[in-house]
Homo-oligomer: A and B are copies of this chain.
Amino acid sequence: MRRTNIQLDAQGRLRHFLTIEGFKRQMLVDILDTAESLATVTDQSVKKVPLLRGKTIVNLFFEASTRTRTTFELAAKRLSADVLNLNIASSATKKGESLLDTLHNLQAMHCDMFIVRHEESGAAHFIAKHVAPHVSVVNAGDGRHAHPTQAMLDMFTIRRCKGDFYPLNVAIVGDILHSRVARSQIHALTTLGVNEVRVIAPKTLLPKDVEALGVHVYHDMKAGLKDVDVVIMLRLQNERMSGALLPSEHEYFNLYGLTEEKLAWAKPDAIVMHPGPINRGVEIESSVADGPQSVILQQVTHGIAVRMAVMSMCLGTVAQPTGGEA
């Protein structure tokens, strides 16, 4: 029996983009290929294509994030869409309107896409289940669950730097437990078929069943970084510092902070990635963040192209093959 994937339409084309889970390898490759063709747009003098002209994209942010909102807003504008920025915490809910009523109203206004950010895991799925057939939903981060466009821009960056996924060893370092970014990255890397995905973290920052995701666990940077092609550093949330999960910022940096010395344990041509914003001197040393192996700012650039690709694929304005279900 085929499992239906809410993210695909009846023809197997991308409709929502909520999580990497459930996609076949080919769908991820299609997204990367579409992003590649759109990446040239931002290099042009006139950085605009009319793919989403007349479409209305709503940034539906229940959790504030200027940075992520900005990347989606720029991607939408470069596709010639109209953009509405709604900070839901401060508007409808004040008057006691329910989330579903807000959604139904926005789609009655013929909005075409909701970019959803929410502090609760599953929020984007919940919304996708309740929207009208003409509306698409893109998850811009939900609780600890997923941040799939971030993962895809990371894959885009890896492919641009390394060419092929198969031979790569990739290490993800830091607070895996609380990171929706790490979860989405792990699913994307395993689906795209890298040789090995490693997570490097203290036990207190790892989910219990993390090996079930297909990763190898390391608690030590030296062992974990050996033979690695890609080092992905995670942001350490300041609020974890004061809790029982971490001894101290200083000790964390000593053990897991990426320094030039530790980076030397990876392959000489390893690239260093970080989803941003960076805590300099906490999870990464400035000389590494700004160094020759860092591709952190390329990630930001690629984020625009990848979000343009996901938006235009979901709204059916670029050609896409069918059959992306896992």
A interface residues, Cβ below 8 angstroms from B = 42-48, 53-56, 64, 66-67, 70-71, 73-74, 77-78, 82, 84, 86, 90-92, 95-98, 101, 104-106, 108-111, 238, 276-280, 297-298, 300-301, 303-304
Contacts and interface: CB of A to CB of B under 8 A. Distances in A.
Given A78-B82, A97-B276, A108-B300, 7 more contacts: A44-B54, A48-B53, A56-B77, A70-B84, A77-B82, A101-B278, A105-B297
Given A53-B46, A91-B66, A74 B109 contact: yes
Given A47-B55, A104-B297, A279-B96, A86 B110 contact: no
Number of copies: 3
A303 B106 CA distance: 12
A300 B304 CA distance: 32
A228 B187 CA distance: 58
Given A47-B54, A96-B279, A108-B298, A86 B70 contact: yes
Nearest to A75: B109
A98 B110 CA distance: 38
A298 B47 CA distance: 34
A248 B159 CA distance: 64
Contact of A54 (B48, B53, B298): B48
B104 A304 contact: no
Top-7 shortest CB links A-B: A46-B54, A66-B91, A108-B300, A97-B277, A48-B54, A108-B297, A47-B54
Contact of A86 (B66, B77, B106): B66
Contact of A84 (B48, B73, B304): B73
Nearest to A69: B91
A245 to B, nearest CB: 19
A316 to B, nearest CB: 10
Contacts of A48: 53-54, 82
Nearest to A91: B66
A96 B282 CA distance: 11
Contact of A74 (B44, B84, B104, B278): B84
A119 to B, nearest CB: 15
A297 to B, nearest CB: 4
